[in-house]
Amino acid sequence: MGRCMQDYPLLSTIHAPADLKKLTQDELTQLAEEIRHFLVEHVNRQGGHLASNLGVVELTLALHRVFDSPHDRIIWDVGHQSYVHKMLTGRLKEFAHLREPGGLSGFTRTDESEHDPFGAGHSSTALSAALGFAAADALKGEDRTTIAVIGDGSFSGGMVHEALNNCSKNMRLIAILNENEMSIAHTTGAFAKYISKMRSTSSYYRIKRRTAKVLMHIPLLGKPLHGLLLRLKIALKHHIYGSNYYEDLGLFYMGPIDGHDTEALERALREAKRRKVSVLLHVKTKKGKGYAPAEEHPEAYHSVYPHKAEGQRFHEVFGRLFEDMAKEDPAVCAVVAAMGEGTGLDQYSKHFPERFFDVGIAEEHAVTFAAGLAKAGMKPYVVIYSTFFQRAYDQILHDVAMQNLPVRFVMDRAGLAVGDGPTHHGIFDVSFLSQCPDLPIFAPATMGSLAVALGKMAKHDSGPSALRYPNATTSSLVESAFYADGDYQSMGVKADFVSTDQVAAVIVTYGQSAKTALDAKASLGEKGVSVGVILIEQLTPYRDITQKLISLLPSEGPVVFLEEGAYQGGAGMHFEAELLRQMPKMAERYSILAIEKPFDSPKTPQNLYEFHHISSKDVENCVLALLH
């Protein structure tokens, strides 16, 4: 059982950021402890990002004590580390429905709270957005500060550096670099640590201002002397820390600061706010802080699942199959974007480190890098979550498809992301990849057909190819309906009926929706309506697949196309166009059930498939409506 709110005596009294400003340092220490207990309890139960949120407790407290949200804007990069921010901005009770459709989002959302100024879900966007806010404030003459909190991992994404390059010195902008794993500034030796500590104290900045003021009032020599001292200071810092990238770009650099020292953080934040210029504040935190399992294994506690379905998931089977392929072919290599373990390639990376390329959170680079590998004779497989492939659309079109390079795209987490919401839905890949001529898209529904699809991809050397699969296990219902004979080699277009004369209607589908279609078929059967299901496991080229569909479709009776993907540009629309080209009367009996409003999400807890009208009940109702 979860703890009652009476177990959180201080946390339960925080209803808005203003409540924090009344607390003493001892009370802040107690509050930080309560927050960590609350996080561990609720995230372990509901699922979500744990280690990153445990690491930003003191930083979040300091931000809300120094700044006035929502007047001052706090933008969290990705947004997965904003749980503490949500607790302190009136959303504590909503954690009972964390990451449920219609419940509290695991990321920042503008429609959830005025304290979330910018929606997020993908990495490396916060600084660009913050820069936009700060530029608008400067144009309008508004007195407010915008803060972007960015983890060091996000700095591997190109957008951060594009935004840094565009920063102006004289903006009310504070970029907080939260370093929790990767060292960026080289702080070695006792003297370097002393300088770091000195620079985090209020007296340091006070003496610095007074010295500058005195020097500037010395006739003739004051300004040159101040400039000389400034150059000497920069030279000394560069000698200790190395060249500072951020100061070279014109930002005022502060830090590194202990990210778990609330007093030091508040001093640094107040000084950054006082300056009214663009500041890069470097803080160092520990992922999983205060919870031993997460401190020892931060990667394992990056994203926590409340429970795991029995059986191997598609990405786990893919990882094993891919390793077998690599053993047979020395040209096979993998390119990932900071998600090696999440895509099932952790063992492969250990056994074939020289053929495993983790490029960081840089999907655009990953695709063009793979294009170079392919052009040089290697066989690269770019393995990325479906939602993140969207970031490399230009590179897929121009750098790979236009040159007919045999790059293999493997899209994990295809379909709806029930816990993560619209930012993570893998529902657009079919729409944008089908724009590439002659690019086969494989959508295996079972582990056996996954192996066959990988084999087909390996032999496809005339251009790019794609493979998509959900974050799920194989459904025994799908297995028995389409592969009872164990003949996985026949994957492509399969029907669970022998003759069209036996069925009154047909449901056509692919991927994870196959089980939904079979559930609808069973329910309709109980009502005396005989329905057949057609499973497509290779979606493109649409024209070729359509010919196989026509051979299986009944001459009369409704056809419902079910798709756990975007309606616009989806497979259902493409097949409709091809069918109407050859079967004009199909327009009267063809209906598509797909996700028509992909960015919408429930306002109250609700089944996500029902919300998007692609549940088995929706299929059943659609068939009955067409029959009558």
Cβ–Cβ contacts within 10 Å for residue 555, how many?
Answer: 8
More confident residue, 304 or 97: 97
Task: Give 592-622 pLDDT, tens digit per residue.
Answer: 999 999 999 999 999 999 999 999 999 999 9
Report whether 315 contacts 343 (CB < 8 A): yes
| Greatest Cα-to-Cα distance within the chain, rounded to the nearest angstrom | 102
301-329 mean pLDDT = 88
Could you report how far apart the first and last alpha carbons of the chain are, in Å? Answer: 50
- Which of 267, 284, 391, 408 is catalytic? The answer is 391
Same fold, 314-468 and 491-627: yes
Preceding amide of 9 cis, omega within 30: no
Spatial distance between the Cα atoms of 15 and 581, rounded to a whole number of angstroms: 61
Spatial distance between the Cα atoms of 282 and 265, rounded to a whole number of angstroms: 10
More confident residue, 400 or 155: 400
513: pLDDT strictly greater than 60: yes
pLDDT of residue 152: 87
* CB burial string 435-472: b at 16+ within 10 A, e below: ebeebbbbbbbbbbbbbbbbebbbebeebbbbbbbbbb
307: pLDDT strictly greater than 70: no
Task: Give 544-563 pLDDT, tens digit per residue.
Answer: 999 999 999 988 899 999 99
410-429 mean pLDDT = 96
HSE of 622 in the Cβ direction (CA atoms, 13 Å)?
Answer: 26
Report whether 242 contacts 185 (CB < 8 A): yes
Structural domain boundaries of the chain? Answer: 5-185+244-296, 314-468, 491-627
Query: Does residue 287 carry a catalytic annotation?
Result: yes
Token readout for 6 is 């009476």
Report whether 130 contacts 76 (CB < 8 A): no
Spatial distance between the Cα atoms of 325 and 404, rounded to a whole number of angstroms: 23
pLDDT of residue 297: 78
Spatial distance between the Cα atoms of 190 and 197, rounded to a whole number of angstroms: 10
pLDDT of residue 245: 75
Three-class SS state of 217: coil
CA nearest neighbour of 132 among 113, 117, 114: 117
pLDDT of residue 477: 96
pLDDT of residue 490: 85
Query: Does residue 286 carry a catalytic annotation?
Result: no
Rounded to 5 degrees, what angle do the CA atoms 534, 540, 541 make? 120
Q: Regarding the domain delimited by 491-627, which CATH topology (the fold level of the hierarchy) does it fall under?
A: Rossmann fold (3.40.50)
Spatial distance between the Cα atoms of 256 and 179, rounded to a whole number of angstroms: 9
pLDDT of residue 434: 95
SS3 assignment for 12-72:
HHCCCHHHHHHCCHHHHHHHHHHHHHHHHHHHHHHCECCHHHHHCHHHHHHHHHHCCCCCC
pLDDT of residue 184: 29
194: pLDDT strictly greater than 60: no
Cβ–Cβ contacts within 10 Å for residue 1, how many?
Answer: 4
Strand pairing report for 408-412 and 465-468: parallel
Quick one: how far is CA 617 from the chain centroid? 30
CA nearest neighbour of 80 among 391, 303, 363: 303
491: pLDDT strictly greater than 90: no
The DSSP output letter for 219 is T
Q: Which residues contact 473 (CB under 8 A, 6 or more apart)?
A: 309, 310, 311, 312, 313, 314
pLDDT of residue 500: 75
Name the helix (H) or strand (E) containing 370.
Answer: helix 363-375
More confident residue, 467 or 341: 467
488-501 mean pLDDT = 87
386-412 mean pLDDT = 97
Cβ–Cβ contacts within 10 Å for residue 144, how many?
Answer: 15
Return mean pLDDT, the chain.
89
pLDDT of residue 217: 66
> Does CATH place domain 5-185+244-296 in 3.40.50.970?
yes
- Which of 65, 99, 199, 287 is catalytic? The answer is 287
Entry field: residues in the chain = 628
457-484 mean pLDDT = 96
- Which of 100, 323, 363, 620 is catalytic? The answer is 363
More confident residue, 214 or 492: 492
| pLDDT band with cut points at 50, 70 and 90 for residue 191 | very low
Spatial distance between the Cα atoms of 612 and 601, rounded to a whole number of angstroms: 9
337-342 mean pLDDT = 92
* CB burial string 46-59: b at 16+ within 10 A, e below: bbbbbbbbbbbbbb
Least confident interval from 26-30, 73-77, 153-157, 321-325: 153-157
More confident residue, 386 or 182: 386
Least confident interval from 202-216, 382-396, 455-469: 202-216
Token readout for 8 is 């959180």
pLDDT of residue 291: 86
420-434 mean pLDDT = 96
Preceding amide of 558 cis, omega within 30: no
The DSSP output letter for 89 is T
Task: Give 216-267 pLDDT, tens digit per residue.
Answer: 667 666 666 656 666 666 555 555 555 567 877 878 999 899 999 999 999 9
- DSSP codes joined into one string, 485-532: T--GGG-SEEES-S-GGG-SEEEEE-TTHHHHHHHHHHHHHHTT--EE
Spatial distance between the Cα atoms of 596 and 182, rounded to a whole number of angstroms: 41
Q: Where are the beta strands (DSSP E) in 307-365?
A: 332-336, 356-358
CATH class of 314-468: alpha beta
Residue recorded with tokens 């192996």: 451
Task: Give 96-129 pLDDT, tens digit per residue.
Answer: 999 999 999 999 999 999 999 999 999 999 999 9
Query: Does residue 391 carry a catalytic annotation?
Result: yes
pLDDT of residue 193: 45
